[in-house]
Amino acid sequence: MRIPKLAFKRPRLANNRVREKAVSIIQRVRRAFKATVQTIIAIPSAVLHSPVGAFRKVRGFRDWLFEKIEYLNSESEKWKRAFNIVKSPYSFLRMMGLSPQMAAGFLAVGSTVGGGVVVNETIIDRPPSFAAGDPGVYNAPSDRPIFTDKEFNTLRLDLGATPIGLVQIEDITVGTAYANSALPNGETNVVIVGGLPTVADPAFTETYLEVGHMTVDRWRCAKLTLTNIEAHDLIVRDNASDGQSIAAVAGTPRDRAISGGNRADDMTTSGGYYDQVKITAATTNVDGKIDRLVMSNIWTKGGPCVLDRIKAGTLEIILNEVGNGDGFAVKDFTIATSVIYKNFTNADNVEVSISPPS
């Protein structure tokens, strides 16, 4: 039997290659065209969404930054709380009525130490400052005293030519009102605010304290005396005293506020025990200048509180308690005839029996 021969056709390789190249070119052109069309379509969307993308990046950075800040604040608060716990023996002694120096002395095993923070019977030195309530002599506007000593427990602020925006002293105990305290040698007044009189030394000329607005609020004094004062608005209300004499005289003091351009930084302090508090214009022929003076919640014992040689836009004497237990005939609260006002508010000031400060 004869087997027939199979016939094979020779493939046309050249035509196939041409066809494949043509198809490849068409596909590339199609892809390029499609990419171009997609790019053209995406341009408006990208323009529209680019601010959103930038905002998201900024927001991410903001959230990261705030996380770090919150972490640092949390750590700072923990350290502060730990420090307060460690220094609690010092705080307890202060609460019991001891002066800062005496409390520090007890924790330092009997030695007297001034200016410092007490922690577990160890003194951590720090510079004394007005803001921290350290006693000393301060030349406004400096927050650092020009004089301090372990035996010196007076808070004294000497004002010169530089005006101050705000001086605020509050929540303090002065004079002999805490254990083992005494007035400075030769002193009889526990609180003195104002200028200074001309003295025997001819080099010193009388000074005044100029104040835009002064508030004397919630003082407890055996005696409170106001002399040599000019106030455009004098407000005396809601004071209780064991005998009072309010004899201010009408006049024409001008209204005032203290400017001075680049004024000094504010000086504020809260809490503390002092043998005396004194705010004066201590430079000859230079009046001290404070735009806002606030002295609030001051408990005193051992002598009078005195306001003398003050020129004020507004002077408020409010909610004070004055008395030495010596009867209404002795005028413990006195506003002398040398106090001159333009406008006077005199309301709800009562005489009641008040014992000496305890």
d(CA 197, CA 281): 10
d(CA 331, CA 347): 18
User: Within 10 Å of residue 213's Cβ, how many Cβ atoms?
Assistant: 19
Q: Is residue 149 within 8 Å of 130, Cβ to Cβ?
A: no
Query: What's residue 100's pLDDT?
Result: 57
Choice among 12-16, 71-75, 109-113, 168-172 with the minimum mean pLDDT: 109-113
User: Within 10 Å of residue 97's Cβ, how many Cβ atoms?
Assistant: 15
Q: Is residue 346 within 8 Å of 236, Cβ to Cβ?
A: yes
**CA 42 to centroid of chain Cα atoms:** 57
Q: Is residue 298 within 8 Å of 198, Cβ to Cβ?
A: no
Query: What's residue 303's pLDDT?
Result: 94
Per the structure block, which two tokens stand in for 225?
Answer: 């005396």
d(CA 86, CA 121): 10
Band of the pLDDT at 93, cuts 50, 70, 90?
low
Q: Is residue 84 within 8 Å of 92, Cβ to Cβ?
A: no
Band of the pLDDT at 18, cuts 50, 70, 90?
low
Per the structure block, which two tokens stand in for 92?
Answer: 């307890």
- How far are the Cα atoms of 113, 297, 300 from residue 134, in angstroms, in the given order? 12, 18, 18
pTM for the predicted model, two decimal places:
0.66
User: Within 10 Å of residue 167's Cβ, how many Cβ atoms?
Assistant: 25
